[in-house]
Amino acid sequence: MSANRPSADVVLSELVPRVVIAATAVAMCLGGLVECVELSRHLKLALCAFADRALPSDLSEAAEAACDLLDAVRDGNVPVFDHRRDRLGRALARYWAARARDPTVGG
């Protein structure tokens, strides 16, 4: 590995917060699908940055919900988008609750 190239751990430590921040922003967006399109693009880019690497297991539920939400955005399906955004919000609530209970948990 060259001195200028970060290790995989450093890259992952930078990518996880991007996914969490983008997913949280989408889940908290009170607008409908149209208002959330730009935030959804950021979420898609954050998830795509992982390429073929697995997300940390504690983020897997939220990542799955986020991918399903992105399918609804792609399809332009407003009722499904609303349902999946709620699902993403619940998954993120569990993710953040785990951190509230144990602030030493990474991510």
Residue-wise pLDDT for 57-105, tens only, equals 999 999 999 999 999 999 999 999 999 999 999 999 999 999 999 877 7
**How much is the pLDDT for 13?**
78
Residue 2 predicted with pLDDT over 60 = no
Residue 32 predicted with pLDDT over 70 = yes
* pTM for this model (two decimals): 0.84
Name the band, by pLDDT with cuts 50, 70 and 90, for residue 9. low
* pLDDT tens, residue by residue, 41-58: 999 999 999 877 888 899
Q: Find out whether 26 and 88 touch, Cβ atoms under 8 Å.
A: yes
**Whole-angstrom distance, CA of residue 35 vs CA of residue 26:** 10
**Residue 97 buriedness (CB in 10 A; 0-12 / 13-18 / 19+):** exposed
**How much is the pLDDT for 91?**
98
